[in-house]
A and B are shown apart, each in its own frame.
Chain A
Amino acid sequence: MNNTWLEKNTFHYSDFSDLKLLVEQKEKKNLTISLCLPTLNEEKTIAKEIIIMKSELMTRCPLLDEIVVVDSGSTDQTREIAGEYGADVYKASDILPDLENFRGKGENLWKALYITKGDIIVYLDADIKNIHHRFAYALIGPLLLSDDIKYSKAFYDRPIAIEKNKMRATGGGRVTELVIRPLFSLYFPELTQILQPLSGEYAGYREIFETIPFPIGYGIETSMILDIYEKWGLDVIAQVDLEKRVHRNQDTKALGRMAFVILKTFLNRIEKLGLIQKKKEMFNEMIQFKLEKNRYMPDIRQLEEHERPPIIGVPEYCKKFSSKPQTHPEHTPFTSEKTE
């Protein structure tokens, strides 16, 4: 396998720590940048993300133009806290309310396209315990400093919180290594160079996001990579080492459900590409077992993975963004299809 992409398009966050230069490039290219934080019951971490991003990338250095929280219907104080610290807060169900309502991270990201105004959109998970502004500026950096890169994705060490107040140095990334990497190796060896394809932190130009479909749940990261790769090729993608990201550890059963959805998304994508042919439709139920009173009881979850179409096809979106120029003089429009 040729790994020239890995060498050429892999960066370290410190490559972009000159924030002045990033702001200069942003202004030169006449761009606006939105940060979107999708949330569901993130009252413990949301304030810290907003405070640090606002302080470092809005007040001290005007790299971000807005911080938007799109919430799936938290039952804790997430929305109140986020509003208190100055983010624009929306309930996902209140955005484009005439459409059928779904619940999931991908749904929030898709709807964020409608309510944000940035030419570049940065998506960060809202559960990052060690949040630092590098999580945003390092993803924006390649987009501003390169004319070719249109989508950037994070990778990192993943220490996990193992018990109250204690950390384990390595771990996490199990779904990546057990599910996605084998699948990429089987069908798209080139994509194995993306070290953490499931990382929840990425940024890209609006023109990219508005023209690809968004699965509403766990499949969003997988489908996004496959769609961008298929449409524009690997060279528009960059990956950035953000070093350490501390997150909540998920139990194996939860990871199993995540793997279920990702597998389904992947298989549907490769069928669409003509790489496989399914003889029958796949089921929508993930079946796990739990021990209750010395009996194994099935624990069945419906995991239907709905998918939002490219938002560019939604009339309300077109109406809202119709007055906006589709391209900017300083950055290349995406008219070319994949050339590899």
Chain B
Amino acid sequence: MESYLDKIPSYVDAIKSIKETILTNIILIGQIPAPTFNEAKRAEIFQERISQAQVDECTMDDFRNPIGVIHGTNDSKPPIFIVAHLDTFIDKDSDHNFTIKTDYLTGPGIMDNSAGVGVLASLPEIFKKLNLTFESDIVIAGLIHSLGKANLQGIRQLLSAWKTPVRGAICLEGGELGRLNYYSYGTKRCEVECKISSDTGWEHRFQPNAILILNDVINRILTLRLPQRPRARVIIGKIAGGFKHGIIALEGTLGFEIQSDSDQMVKSIFKDITDIVDGLSHEYQVEMKLKTISSINASTLNFNHPLVKSTVAIMKQLGLKPMAEPSGSELSIFLNHKIPAVTLGITRGHNYHLANASIEIEPMYTGIAQIIGVIKAIDSGVCDE
């Protein structure tokens, strides 16, 4: 391991020397709107960019994930996957034109995840610049249908169709530099919908208020006793409803997520919340629906897994302080398939999910060097045990 670990800091300047190519990829791909379920155009541009970089194979899988393959030198070694989700939370009519100054690149969706996708598309050029070859094939995949209701369909489909072993994987995210995800909580993302009849008959003269009912749902969720071990929590993330200030709200929705490192605990909490919703629906005599938007099973690599240890060493070699936290992203699907994987952040940023999201340009080169280091670690066999 030491043989390449020492070299990693020297990659930073070499990567920076092709900054125009990296920034161009981020801009040209990131300026294509790609809200979830509408990523086709961005997928096409991504494929065009990796094809122009002359990867050995370039294709779309049956699910329309764009994929490039760089052949390795040893046929007996399984491939290494490097992935980034193509979709963003930004609607297609927003102005997607990026602006760039000396230190910052700004544009909607850049942190989540245009910077990750642009760097992914630049890897073939970066390998050439660093004169790197690998034993394993390197599979570069842009993933569609990842966020929210898409429930990570892109990576699920890619891995279910990939019948041969995968050596290891890296998931790329725009931010934050220093993040090291190697475990994911079991999560269930849900929505409670409350609808009240708008009939005006005598029996409806004391109409309940959808917002107050949802407020009651929240209060009752907050009374749930959640254990310290296994760790568990319910995040109330979204609420919407009503028409105007002086009118009783007849509709409302509440979005929340159950998270735990135990799938069993997620199920148990979900059952409790189902009871709360059913009870209130009966109590107020209103129509309430509890829908599951997406779910992920809990999965983890141990902290002493060689991939995690190597990644920590690489980050420290680059002066980065690893920050371990759970991730609900593509990582969990790799881990559920028993494929060792980590998620890494490319750079630091600001206004994460806003129209004026921006990334810091200079730290990005260190972020990319860390990715190269982890690819080399996997290629040297840290996931082979």
Contacts and interface: CB of A to CB of B under 8 A. Distances in A.
A166 B90 CA distance: 12
Nearest to B106: A44
Interface residues of A, number: 27
A242 to B, nearest CB: 15
A322 B368 CA distance: 49
Nearest to B108: A165
Interface in B1-45: 18-21, 23-24, 27-28, 31
A164 B24 CA distance: 23
Nearest to B26: A51
B98 interface: yes
A130 interface: yes
A80 B102 contact: yes
Nearest to A129: B97
Nearest to A166: B95
Contacts of A44: 99, 101
B23 A51 contact: yes
Interface string A156-171: 0000010011110000
Contact of A48 (B19, B95, B99): B99
Nearest to A43: B101
A246 B97 contact: yes
Interface in B72-108: 93-95, 97-102, 108
B94 A48 contact: no
Contacts of B28: 52, 132
Contacts of A161: 95
- Measured as residues with beta carbon below 8 angstroms from the partner, the interface class of chain B is 20 to 34
A60 interface: yes
A44 B107 CA distance: 12
Nearest to A50: B20
A80 B102 CA distance: 9
Contact of A81 (B19, B20, B93, B101): B101
Given A130-B31, A165-B355, A167-B93, A48 B21 contact: no
A51 B93 contact: no
Interface string B282-315: 0000000000000000000000000000000000
Contacts of A164: 95, 355
A145 B19 CA distance: 31
B274 interface: no
B52 interface: yes
B100 A51 contact: yes
A60 B97 contact: no
B305 to A, nearest CB: 38
Interface of B: 18-21, 23-24, 27-28, 31, 52, 93-95, 97-102, 108, 355
22 contacts: A43-B101, A44-B99, A44-B101, A47-B100, A47-B102, A48-B98, A48-B100, A51-B19, A52-B20, A52-B27, A54-B20, A55-B24, A56-B24, A59-B20, A77-B102, A84-B102, A85-B20, A86-B20, A130-B31, A130-B97, A164-B355, A165-B95
Given A44-B101, A47-B101, A164-B95, 12 more contacts: A47-B100, A48-B27, A51-B27, A52-B28, A55-B20, A55-B23, A60-B52, A81-B101, A130-B97, A132-B28, A165-B94, A166-B93
